[in-house]
Copies of this chain bind each other. A is one copy, B any other.
């Protein structure tokens, strides 16, 4: 196993997005650094973990780099995803076009509310939790996304673990307990606002000084 540091893993999706939006065939580490908002020495170090070193005076081949990052992130195969909790956020994710592009297929959307079951969102029908375990096994759903209120999130996580899911993305604002072999990632929607705040504060400081 190659030991890619977690901080590098966190940046790979950002590089990938910058590269897929970039027009020319080659890119310098300086340009990629600017697009991804990190310094260029870090870009070169990060890419060296993928075995990519670029060519002096030319830079990196964009297509090849996209391939290398996609391969490293495991995006060269499709992942089947389920979403539990069809409130506004769950619906927004069920409809989100960006998942399909990256190889994530939403193959199951679930809710406990009888009023929601049977309704359509993003081309799929909302299913009851009673069919959850069967669906996970039959459709080989490997990533579970939790968009329920915080009060139901642990119960849903337990159901996911029982059904055999080992990778959970938790949008509910709560900490989940889970077995050792299960990877739970928490998404905090206020993180990016906090980064906005940092740069606004710095800009205000510059104006004042």
Contacts and interface: CB of A to CB of B under 8 A. Distances in A.
B203 A166 contact: yes
* Residue with the highest number of chain B CB atoms closer than 10 Å, among A6, A99, A103, A197: A197
Contacts of A159: none
Nearest to A10: B195
Contacts of A99: 189-190, 193
A191 B14 contact: yes
Interface in A4-59: 5-7, 9-14, 16-17, 21, 37-39, 42
Interface stretch (A60-68, A108-116, A129-137, A180-188): A180-188
B93 A189 contact: yes
A194 interface: yes
B104 A193 contact: yes
B201 A37 contact: no
Interface string A145-170: 10000000000000000000011010
A179 interface: no
A97 interface: yes
A173 interface: yes
A168 B207 CA distance: 19
B189 A12 contact: no
Contacts of A143: 193, 196-197, 200
A202 interface: yes
Contact of A88 (B88, B175, B194, B196): B88
A205 interface: yes
Interface of A: 1, 5-7, 9-14, 16-17, 21, 37-39, 42, 72-75, 79, 81, 87-89, 91-93, 95-99, 101-104, 142-143, 145, 166-167, 169, 173, 175, 181, 183, 185-203, 205-206, 209
